[in-house]
Amino acid sequence: MTDSATLLIDGRWHSAPTGFEVLDPASLEVIGTAADADAGQARTALDAAAAASRGWADTDPETRGDHLRAAATEIRARRAELAALLSAENGKPLAEAAGELGSAARMLDWAAEEGRRAYGRVTPSTAAGPGLVLRSPVGPVLAITPWNFPASMLIRKVGLALAAGCPVIAKPAEQTPLIATALLGILQETGLPAGVLQSLTTARPAELVDALLADRRLRKLSFTGSTEVGLGLLRRTENTLRRMSLELGGHSPAIVFPDADLEAAAAGVVAAKFFNAGQSCIAVNRLYVHESIRDELLALIEKKTSALRVGRGDTGNSDIGPLIDEAGSAKVRRQVTEAVGSGAKVLTGGEPAETGLRGHFFTPTVLVDITPEMLISREETFGPVLAVSTFSTEEEVIELANATEYGLAAYVFGTELRRIWRVLDRLEFGVFGVNDPAPVRPELPFGGQKNSGQEREGGSEGIEAYTETKAVALRF
């Protein structure tokens, strides 16, 4: 398979008449090329997926799981090699890349087990007879995945869909097609039947996705990306109603109560904010600190943030890699400039980082005295900037945290169980980290409320999202 043969269609790898370059975001140098799929190739992929659908649905869950377990084993065996590719293509530090690949392998193991549990139930008999609830694969799936976690988010969607008995067409982000191609190649090499797994790399995603959405044979769309694009996909379904899983933008609050372990809270906030240079939908955007612990907690956060090292991800000695592109960098600069101009103060950072490289690096930044009117209080940052405000009462901070159109993730630091329980009940978010900066686990459902998405990935809910429910009334 050459660098440009990145299209997996009907069990074979293909190139395309044109390709596009893949850049290292740290140096902006070309590290590879990918085939630029068109609408015709997308329709061919759907033909193959539709033809394979019945046979894969009829394959027993244990056999389907064998493919996923074999792929997980191979990912673990090749993790160092794959981490180097992921770091070069995405920019994240090697340790983070290796951790993401470990998560991807665990997700495959989880999906393999859950595929055996995608069963229905028998309801109590009436005078006529019993009732049955059956679950069956939804059918061909289009999985659109983002660049910020190009391994774990791809594998989570693909693994759950395959485990449920659905053929998949993957559409990786154009910034990170190479790691996606490598991982899907590992899955295909386990002996998957032709047509069960397809992959379409492209630099013109709207054209390709429109062609697939126009075809009634596509029965499910799973998308991770911005809220704007996700809402656009909903509008583009036209006359065909299909299942849609949407994992969209976030604007995550973190709340630190006075009874928190401040050392652990500071470490948790810094980890949840600056992982992947803040380019995460569940990254902490807004930190609310109780006024009684403000100075002590901020001193700890400033010390930990200032110690973070900025540089190339593949050197092994950096904590913060580059932002993905100029648009992402411009957004960070705009938010910082607007906040400072509106009265915020820079506790640390606040400017582009000097690395001697052409990529878009920004110093890990903490802004204090943030007010609700500032842009950074209303808009997801997707970069290494933490916005800090204080609060006085539980009621006040709940209102501040919920004052957003987003509802993906939230973090709470404290030890009083009754208060934590009250806060969890009233916060309008789908994922919570309680004294935990990493609330994503294969066994937990992942997804948001409000404009942060619909349906869930992971947990038992994740496999259900790829199945249809059938109710059967039996009369003997």
Among all residues, which ones are annotated catalytic? 247, 281
Q: What is the residue-averaged pLDDT of the chain?
A: 96
pLDDT in tens, 126-164: 988 999 999 999 999 999 999 999 999 999 999 999 999
Render 69-91 in DSSP notation, one character per residue.
HHHHHHHHHTHHHHHHHHHHHH-
Q: 120 is written with which tokens?
A: 């229905």
Instruction: Please list the alpha-helical segments (H only) found in 78-131.
Output: 79-90, 94-114
- What does the pLDDT average to over 396-411? 98
302 with 348: CB under 8 angstroms?
yes
Instruction: Indicate the residue type of 294.
Output: R
Which range has the worst mean pLDDT, 61-65, 106-110, 233-237? 233-237
pLDDT at 239: 81
- What does the pLDDT average to over 49-63? 98
365 with 329: CB under 8 angstroms?
no
pLDDT in tens, 327-385: 999 999 999 999 999 999 999 999 999 999 999 999 999 999 999 999 999 999 999 99
Q: How confident is the model at residue 1 (pLDDT cuts 50, 70, 90)?
A: very low
- Tally the residues of the chain: 476
Distance CA 280, CA 100 (A): 13
List Cα–Cα distances, 260 to 83, 114, 134, in angstroms. 35, 36, 47
pLDDT in tens, 198-237: 999 999 999 999 999 999 999 999 999 999 999 999 988 7
Residue position matching structure tokens 């806060």: 423
Task: Tell me, rounded to whole angstroms, the distance of Cα 5 from its chain centroid.
Answer: 26
Say what percent of the chain tops pLDDT 70. Answer: 99
Q: How confident is the model at residue 2 (pLDDT cuts 50, 70, 90)?
A: very low
- What does the pLDDT average to over 15-31? 97
